[in-house]
């Protein structure tokens, strides 16, 4: 099993008081597990309440949303995975950098759990990648989060921000390789 820890950084690179996003990601054969831990003063963040009927939804990134981007090494194609604290989700497939965006129909659900505590939030996804890649293929992953603050401001968190703007789709930000 290949297991890596991560710590996300806000863009622009500035201290956002009392907020930290860490976690780990692992791949064993074609099983992918990602654990996000959001800690700090969560009273300053808009976090959707759990839904009785989690469903596939669009534009989850307009609110607090845990995301990751997955591409096959040496291929332009990649996927964007969105996980809302409410339990809603979506997966999009791209043919190239921000090109050919389509809802990925290979997934009919995403198996993830959300655990809320007074000063932290955990999101854990455990999924099989067989629908989109083979276990032999090397994948590159970018881990990201969008945080919506109570004042309406949005902050963008990622492993790295290689450009002059927050852009989760840049392949040079897919820093974890399995």
**Residue range 44-82, pLDDT digits in tens:** 999 999 999 999 999 999 999 999 999 999 999 999 999
Q: What CATH number belongs to 2-177?
A: 2.60.40.1190
pLDDT of amino acid 155: 94
What's the whole-number average pLDDT of the chain? 95
Q: How far apart are the first and last CA of the chain?
A: 10
pTM of the model: 0.95
pLDDT recorded at residue 2: 86
Q: Which of 171, 176, 164 is nearest to 99 (CA)?
A: 171
Determine the distance from the C-alpha atom of residue 4 to the mean position of all C-alpha atoms in its chain, rounded to a whole number: 15
Smallest Cα–Cα separation from 68: which of 32, 106, 117, 40? 32
């Amino acid at each position: 099993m290949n297991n890596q820890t991560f710590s996300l950084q806000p863009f622009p690179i500035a201290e956002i008081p009392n907020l930290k996003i860490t976690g780990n990601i692992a791949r064993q054969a074609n099983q992918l597990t990602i654990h996000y831990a959001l800690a700090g003063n969560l009273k300053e963040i808009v976090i959707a309440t759990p839904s009785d009927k989690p469903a596939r939804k669009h534009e989850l990134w307009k609110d607090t949303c845990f995301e990751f981007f997955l591409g096959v090494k040496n291929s332009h194609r990649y996927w964007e995975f969105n996980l809302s604290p409410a339990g809603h989700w979506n997966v999009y497939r791209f043919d190239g950098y921000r090109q050919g965006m389509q809802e990925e129909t290979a997934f009919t659900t995403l198996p993830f759990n959300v655990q809320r505590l007074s000063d932290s939030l955990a999101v854990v996804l455990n999924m099989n990648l067989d629908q989109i890649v083979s276990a032999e293929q090397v994948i590159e992953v970018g881990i990201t989060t969008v945080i919506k603050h109570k004042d309406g401001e949005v902050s963008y968190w990622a492993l790295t921000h290689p450009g002059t703007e927050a852009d989760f789709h840049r392949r040079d930000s897919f820093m974890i390789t399995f």
